[in-house]
Structure 1
Amino acid sequence: MELLGLDILLIGFFVGFGLLIGVLFGFFGMGGSFLVTPALLVVGYPAPVAVGSGLAFVFGTSVIGALRHRDHGQVSYALAAVMSLGLLFGIEIGTRIVFLLAGLGSADVVISAVYVGLLSAVGLFVLRDARTADSDVETGRVATGVLAIELPPMVSLSGGATVSVWVIFVVGSGIGVLSGCLGVGGGFLLLPVMVYGFGVPTAVAAGTSVLQILISGAFGTFVYAQSNAVEIPVVAALLVGSAFGARIGVSATRLVNEADLKGYFAGMLLAGGAATACKLASDVYGVEPLETGSVVLIFGTAVLVSGAIVRTSIAALRTNRQSGSPRTH
């Protein structure tokens, strides 16, 4: 039986996966496309369609999450405004790169390889920070170096930092290029950049990231849709599930401590990188078990981390009720 051109079981699968991604999105302040795009590649969609559909999913989830984070006061509008200008500029460049690679017949391999390297590098960095006792000192050093660049005009951010508008724009442009190339809203890069580079509190960085992803996702979707590179039924099924999951994830950010948040974030990135690497190796060397392994990694990790977030939040709620005081980061 089919609905909107998709098998009913496949639709159910995408709805369930969307629910898990929604939890992760609300929790980490990311559109979830860093898992959605590799997942669509693993399932067998062409690279441009996987990228375009990932961006469309990003846009839909961001609308939900941005409203929730706004309600909690976890958005820095000044930072979001400047960074978004850079993101839009970079996305246009990144999109052109993807279609150039597609014309050369190398888009799948190149995009997968970049995913592996980027997710692994960022994941290892965040994991090291989460597991190191002097992580606050290291974070402060990075932020101090960035804040030392005083090119006017300057903008004041949440947490007391003052950053050059030009620095924010250049960083946003770089992330935008990757967003346009990889079909991501850029959340898995925006979050660590704001926390480690600009000294923004993690919860505020998550909320600000969601607002920026909304803007970049809308623009990226429009660009890819012009080339019919967005699979609407898949995106719709994912959004149905994520609408419920996002509410859970956003609420969890107020209950889980910062070290745990960073640890979960690192685990998701490393799993996404490993899954994409398995898929790439399977395509290049024809090893079927590796393709199965990539599917297990990408979807199994989403289940495990989403479950861990919900379990930790429930435990925190119980502790709060017993102590009679709210828990903060």
Structure 2
Amino acid sequence: MTFEPLYSLSGLMVGALVGITGVGGGSLMTPLLVLLFGVHPATAVGTDLLYAAITKTAGTAVHGMHGRVNWRIVGSLAAGSVPAALLMLWLMAGVDRKSIGVTSSITTALGWLLVMTAIMLVFRSQILAFARRVIGERMPPKPATIAFFTVVLGIVLGVLVTLTSVGAGAMGVTILLVLYPRLDVREIVGSDIVHAVPLTLVGGMGYWFIGEIDWAMLLALLVGSIPGIVLGSLLAPKLHERTIRIVLAVTLTIVAWKLLAG
């Protein structure tokens, strides 16, 4: 098992951006591993899922201590996402993951999800305003209806995150803000982070079972990313978050273009 310092440097940079913007590492780490280091998409996704499970566990503890977790939302999301993740893992186990078709499918899905993440980063407030205006013109949805759509969101996230490791961050939070407009944003973010732990853990363990985890790479990423997240969290109050989000969105769009064009 060879330790690669460049992975740690990448983890440091991604961790710092996660600490500053709150955007999940999957939208940054997985394409970085695929494009810069030439890691096979399935191995990049599997390793990144375990990486996310470990790093988000610390976030879960922080949000839990501050009471910023809505466990009903977490339960509804997990009721959809965990079975969906298990189904996706079963499908992944039954195909030739090194084939051109599977590789292309993962890469294409990853590219389009990066585009969607970039849109959510830049236009989240406009998307929320439009959605709430449309919903406000109708009868407020019943709690059972909201719970149903939360489970459906969990199913979608379970499929997308298990296939690409992207989706639970910007996209999940934005849709939850539409479904639960009266909740504090911090409670939504905290609930999303807590839900991501079992989802990424199930996904990561599943990829381990089918042999798609690079343990040396995982260790090197963690060595860099944990101090990176701490550094980013300390820098966040001193930086203009809107500017950082726009730069990040442009970067994700360029990365998405390279993935889709390749």
Give TM-score scaled by structure 2 length.
Answer: 0.83
Indicate how the Cα distance of structure 1 residues 103 and 41 shifts in structure 2: closer, same or farther if over 3 A, else same: closer
Aligned CA RMSD, in angstroms, stands at: 3.0
Indicate how the Cα distance of structure 1 residues 143 and 250 shifts in structure 2: closer, same or farther if over 3 A, else same: farther
- Three-state SS of the structure 1 residue aligned to 2:111 is helix
Residues in 2 aligned to 1:70 and 1:248: alpha-carbon distance in whole angstroms: 21
Structure 1 residue 240, shift from structure 2 partner: 1.6
Partner in structure 2 of residue 191 of structure 1:
173
Residues in 2 aligned to 1:56 and 1:77: alpha-carbon distance in whole angstroms: 22
Residues in 1 aligned to 2:137 and 2:155: alpha-carbon distance in whole angstroms: 20
Indicate how the Cα distance of structure 1 residues 207 and 44 shifts in structure 2: closer, same or farther if over 3 A, else same: same
Counting only pairs closer than 5 Å after superposition, residues 11-90 of structure 1 correspond to structure 2 as: 11-42=4-35, 43-90=37-84
Residues in 1 aligned to 2:204 and 2:121: alpha-carbon distance in whole angstroms: 29
More divergent stretch after superposition (119-128 vs 41-50): 119-128
Q: Is the 8 A contact 2:120 2:171 kept in 1?
A: no
4+ residue runs of structure 1 moved beyond 6 angstroms? none
Which of 108, 112, 116 aligns to 2:107? It is 112
Structure 1 residue 151, shift from structure 2 partner: 5.8
Residues 157-212 of structure 1 deviation map (CA, whole Å, 9 limit, x = unaligned) = xxxxxx63211101111111101111236223212122234324333322222111
Partner in structure 2 of residue 277 of structure 1:
257
Runs of at least 5 residues in structure 1 that lack an aligned partner in the other structure: 153-162, 284-329
Counting only pairs closer than 5 Å after superposition, residues 119-130 of structure 1 correspond to structure 2 as: 119-130=114-125
Partner in structure 2 of residue 5 of structure 1:
2
Which of 223, 229, 233 aligns to 1:240? It is 223
* Largest Rg, 1 or 2: 1
Structure 1 residue 30, shift from structure 2 partner: 4.4
Residue correspondences, number: 259
Residues in 2 aligned to 1:146 and 1:221: alpha-carbon distance in whole angstroms: 41
Residues in 1 aligned to 2:118 and 2:213: alpha-carbon distance in whole angstroms: 28
Indicate how the Cα distance of structure 1 residues 83 and 144 shifts in structure 2: closer, same or farther if over 3 A, else same: farther
Which of 211, 222, 229 aligns to 1:228? It is 211
Residues in 2 aligned to 1:143 and 1:109: alpha-carbon distance in whole angstroms: 37
Indicate how the Cα distance of structure 1 residues 128 and 33 shifts in structure 2: closer, same or farther if over 3 A, else same: closer
Provide the identity percentage. 19
Q: Would you say 1:216 and 2:199 are equivalent positions?
A: yes
Give the letter for the 1:56 counterpart.
L
Structure 1 residue 98, shift from structure 2 partner: 4.1
Indicate how the Cα distance of structure 1 residues 263 and 193 shifts in structure 2: closer, same or farther if over 3 A, else same: farther
